[in-house]
Amino acid sequence: MSKNDLYSLMIEESESGHVAYTNFVTAYSTDKPELVYCFFEGDEDKKYYGGRITMKYQKEFEDFTCGGRDFVLKAIELIKNRTEYNEAKVLFFIDKDYTDDKVEDKLYVTPCYSIENFYSTKDTLKRILNREFNMKEKDENFIKILDLYTTLLTNYHNELLLLNAWLSCQYDIRIKTKMSTRLNINEVLKNYFKNNDNMFDVDLNLRANIFDELKNKDILENILFKDAPKITDDLLDEKLVLFNSNDFNKACMFRGKFELKFFIDFLKRLKEEATAKEQKILTKKYKCSLSFKLEDSISVLTQYSNTPNCLIEFLDEHLRVA
């Protein structure tokens, strides 16, 4: 198949506006055998993966934003078995979402819901406390903050348990029925996760009742997501049992954007507490020059976020020089 034929096929099989696949066809060159071609769901992904590719492996890469998970998978389908690209260093990256998908060949799948879950971990918090607040691990304030974070995160997960379970059921239905439409989650729920509204009060407590509506199935289906398929109580109860089981890691498997919002809001309030004239929680003041903003957190905090072993193994396999 010629480049022109593949170009036409890509245009035909992809939705209008998603041109990542065709961009690869025109960008690929045999004159740059070491260039890595990386396909990502969105622009935020390259901020996380890019540094890990260039710093450790000294590889130059060209990125292609596909505009969604399904389109990354479509790119694999279109490019594989094309002999003209057999020698190309092509890698694909997607979020796990609510699936059981795993790493396969040149496709990397996050072990958690999304890359945002790599940021909102206790290990990430430890690094930030140490390097940005200059807290030592044995300090009583360091230990106090970690304990508080763990408690608040558990409470937060309880608040969003039904929402995550309901969204997971919606995902299952979409896959089963092969629906192409998606819920516009960010837009519909924007009033509950506003960038400038902190979910914590000045005493670092979750503000009361702010997620009450998201714990109501009727509100989800009849007000917020009126066009979404209805979920039976049995299906939702089954998902809730799974999500409440002891071996289910909510911090890993709940929707990443919700987790990141929690993390950034916590850090904002913590900085206010640490730098205030008088502390309510901490026993002393700490300096912190870093600004915690949700909109640029993926790039600003990437150095502190987790790098799972499966990602290291995946990049080693495809990029390490023997």
Angle between helices 69-79 and 20-27 (to 10 degrees): 40
pTM of the model: 0.90
Residues 197-231 have pLDDT tens digits of 999 999 999 999 999 999 999 999 999 999 999 99
Residues 52-86 have pLDDT tens digits of 998 888 888 999 999 888 889 888 888 887 788 88
Question: What integer pLDDT is reported at residue 321 of this predicted model?
Answer: 65
Question: What integer pLDDT is reported at residue 199 of this predicted model?
Answer: 97
> What is the widest separation between alpha-carbon atoms in the chain?
70
Residues 261-296 have pLDDT tens digits of 999 999 999 999 999 999 999 999 999 999 999 999
Q: Residue 155 CA to chain centroid, in angstroms?
A: 21
Instruction: Work out the pLDDT band at 313, boundaries 50, 70, 90.
Output: very high
What length is written for the chain?
322
What number is the average pLDDT over the span 113-121? 97
Instruction: Determine if residue 321 is left, alpha or beta; phi over 0 gives left, psi from -120 to 50 gives alpha, anything else beta.
Output: beta
Question: What integer pLDDT is reported at residue 83 of this predicted model?
Answer: 80
Question: What integer pLDDT is reported at residue 306 of this predicted model?
Answer: 97
